């Protein structure tokens, strides 16, 4: 599943320069797994308040689903 996100032109150029032959998702995932926060990858203030709230809600929902799946697998 893929999602569209809006990023500023300067962030796009930085991600494009970093990605080489990898996908943008791989670059972002590697950065986040390396301990970076999303604002360190994409920049602070990239998302408007409404989009931020939606993303936060999605992350919370996905986290609950992951924990639920883990619980189901251990039973």
Going by pLDDT thresholds of 50, 70 and 90, the confidence category of residue 73 is low
How far apart CA 67 and CA 28 sit, in angstroms, is 22
The secondary structure of 19-74 as a DSSP string is HTTS-HHHHHHHHHHTT--HHHHH-TT-S-HHHHHHHHHHHHHHHHHHHHHHHHHH
Q: Name the domain count of the chain.
A: 2
> pTM of the predicted model, to two decimals?
0.42
Say yes or no: 32 and 17 in one domain: yes
Query: Does residue 72 lie within any of the structural domains?
Result: yes
Say yes or no: 50 and 22 in one domain: no
* Domain enclosing residue 68, as ranges: 46-75
Say yes or no: 28 and 55 in one domain: no
> What is the tens place of the pLDDT at every residue in 29-71?
887 777 766 666 666 666 778 888 888 888 888 777 666 666 6
Say yes or no: 38 and 55 in one domain: no
pLDDT of amino acid 38: 65
């Amino acid at each position: 599943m893929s999602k569209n996100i809006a990023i500023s032109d300067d962030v796009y150029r930085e991600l494009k320069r970093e990605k080489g032959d990898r996908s943008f998702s791989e670059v972002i995932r590697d950065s986040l797994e390396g301990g970076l926060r999303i604002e360190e990858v994409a920049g602070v203030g990239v998302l408007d308040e409404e989009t931020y709230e939606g993303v936060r809600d999605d992350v919370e929902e996905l986290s609950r689903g992951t924990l639920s799946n883990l619980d189901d697998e251990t039973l």
